[in-house]
Amino acid sequence: MVLQAAPSGNIEARITSLLARMTLDEKIGQMSQSTSMKTPLSEQIKSEIRSGRWGSFLNAGSPQDRAEAQRIALKESRLGIPLLFGRDVIHGYRTIFPIPLGQSASWDPDLIEQAARIAAHEAFADGIRWTFAPMIDITRDPRWGRVAEGLGEDPYLASRLAVAMIHGFQSDSLSSTGAIAACVKHYVGYGAAEAGREYNSAWIPEGQLREVYLPPFQAASDAGVATLMPGFNALNGVPATGNLFILRKILRGEWNFKGMVVSDYTAIPEMIQHGYAANTTDAARKALLAGVDMEMVSTTYFDHLKTLVEKGVVDRRAIDAAVRNILRLKFQLGLFDQSPPVLVEPLAPEALEIAKRLATESMVLLKNDAHLLPLSKSNGKIAIIGPLADSPVDQMGTWAMDGRASDVQTPLAALREKLGDARVLYSPGLKNSRDLSRDGFKDALQKARMADVILLFLGEEQILSGEAHSRAFLDLPGAQEALVNEIAKLGRPIVTVVLAGRPLTFHETAAKSKAILFGWHPGTMGGPAIADLLFGDAVPSGKLTITFPRTVGQVPIYYAQLPTGRPASSSDLGIPLGNPVNPVGYTSKYVDVDFTPEFPFGYGLSYSDFKYSNLRVSAPRLRMGGLLTLAADVTNTGAVAADEIVQLYVHEDVASVSRPIRQLKGARRLHLRPGETVNVQFPVTTKDLAFYNQKMQLVTEPGTFHFWIAPDSVRGMEGKFIVE
């Protein structure tokens, strides 16, 4: 018989009724996800859908295939349980937005939410109701390829932006037209992989785990995220997929998470390679008992859970609990009620406008000597050189499954449209970012000689970042540095635009460039955004959410480091400081490179200037449970209207556990006209100042706190207050 969804009624009661009708095979089928749907649908897949073999499909089938498969599930299976179609909608569907790390540099939750909503609507129209995003792993190691998918190194900012993405994907209700279920990943510590090597183990003390890596996931849980995915990694020796501490104690126990947990791609049997499970039977048992509701792609659940239940090794109630979580999501999404198809125009004008705005806000001006930028729109020839000036696929970045190169507007195309063909001289110089051949140098140099200004488009192509694309070196790959060296000899002013999926080390290129714009992989509308920024039709406002090292040897490097007993000082800057036999000053530094980053967290320049003044505290003392306000005036002292991202940092002088030298506790994006002053206020409660003590208790301890209202993590106006 086919169970029809009632027009109203309590979801939990409907789930209970449905569970009572399901066989054990059908329940385990709901716990199984496949990628095996091909075009057109095979008779085998149709038969399996009718029998309830699969509860979900991942990245599978055309929209027409998915519609037909769903019809079969609803109309021809015994109980009419719908399928759940998931897809990696990471930073856009057809309209591709900047990579998430780039989006985070906008510090703009509202705009990021709008982008996620557009992606959800485009995916929804093609039958997708579940995305495996956002990725909210905190990482402080740019060697890790998936840094491109994350939201930076800071838990406060990542938490805010994660919630914005979740709201964008899920809308006000999962049953809303255009809403898709979000899935936060990878829980937890995946971004702390040793040596930045993909899938590697992470060793994280519990205090650091709770203060740095868990907060974005807790914020997501509190925000009602529908699903969660454990990481591939082992955390402190226990694979996340079978980790009772993080999945049972913290996620389900402390946070009371009610959503569904799905494994990562074949992560359950991979616990055998970890040395944590003896075989696939053992892996299935451990994953289920840890709280993994659905298995992605691999089949250990379907192969072994029935036997484990029949032998009494696994309690049927564990199966029912997992299936309840899956069915609840399907009811919440309204999948039991077939709705008419929704038509959404891909690449709609409003989608492209948001994509352009987000690309514009995400780009970070790292250098602008002698105010070279913005360039003149009316005078001189421009040489556009480099392998990434006209490379649509690379511009989309990692995890752009449904983006099309033909949709992408490149910098070359946008600059030609803005300036006219006569002013633009183009030569790629290299075939791609990894090209070692110098065959293209001659043409590039010839074009550069004819120009008044040279625009270099450098960086790393799409395939050099993302999953399984860790890098041991962070420099510009291929012969890009050699190309820069040759062009620099011409003596023309150089503007370097870097397109990449991670922070790169390009110190020598930076020294030869008068201006540097870091554009990340900016997506469909990256070209027009870059053109507007270079020529002053838009003003740079992005600020880094991850620290840029001077060299890979500084990694991991991040702003919220703990103080040391022998801190380095400004007098330790400058090379050489000494040598390994006779070092100068026994402080925490290097003898062969400055200890400071190339570009710090929170850093980014503008075409305007901002003055911070009139720092004040609403009260000098803050009692436990109370609130005070920290404030300052910010004035646009420049000649153009511009955005400034104002940041609040705090530090407690003395505590039972050493506290980071600075911690981000607030941020505001302001738009200021020339001469305009805005009073920026940050409310702070004692809860905002809490940390985990040596007993793993969340406490706020009395003491003196310093704070900075600042343009980045190394500058700012400093004040203090006392918590009593």
The pLDDT, as a whole number, for residue 575 is 64
Tokens, residue 30: 């709901």
The pLDDT, as a whole number, for residue 713 is 98
Q: 79: alpha, beta or left, given left = phi > 0 and alpha = psi -120 to 50? A: alpha
Residue type, 348: A
Determine the Cα–Cα distance for residues 525 and 112; give it in Å rounded to an integer: 15
Q: Give φ, ψ of 346 to 5 degrees.
A: -70, 145
The pLDDT, as a whole number, for residue 592 is 86
Give the residue carrying structure tokens 């001189």: 380
Per-block average pLDDT, block size 10, for the chain (724 residues)?
A: 40 97 98 92 96 97 94 97 98 98 98 98 96 98 98 98 98 96 98 98 98 98 98 98 98 98 98 98 98 98 98 98 98 88 90 98 98 93 98 98 98 97 97 98 98 98 98 98 98 98 98 98 98 98 98 97 94 68 78 93 98 98 97 98 98 98 98 98 98 98 98 98 98
Q: 189: alpha, beta or left, given left = phi > 0 and alpha = psi -120 to 50? A: left
pTM over 0.95: yes
Determine the Cα–Cα distance for residues 217 and 32; give it in Å rounded to an integer: 24
Instruction: Please pick, among 126, 141, 264, 394, the residue that the annotation labels catalytic.
Output: 264
Strand ranges, E, within 55-152: 56-58, 84-87, 130-131
The pLDDT, as a whole number, for residue 579 is 60
The pLDDT, as a whole number, for residue 581 is 60
Q: Is 264 a catalytic residue?
A: yes
Length of the chain: 724
Tokens, residue 560: 């919220």
The pLDDT, as a whole number, for residue 2 is 29
The pLDDT, as a whole number, for residue 322 is 98
Identify the structural domains of the chain with CATH numbers, from first to last: 1-87+314-332 (no CATH), 88-313 (3.20.20.300), 610-723 (2.60.40.10)
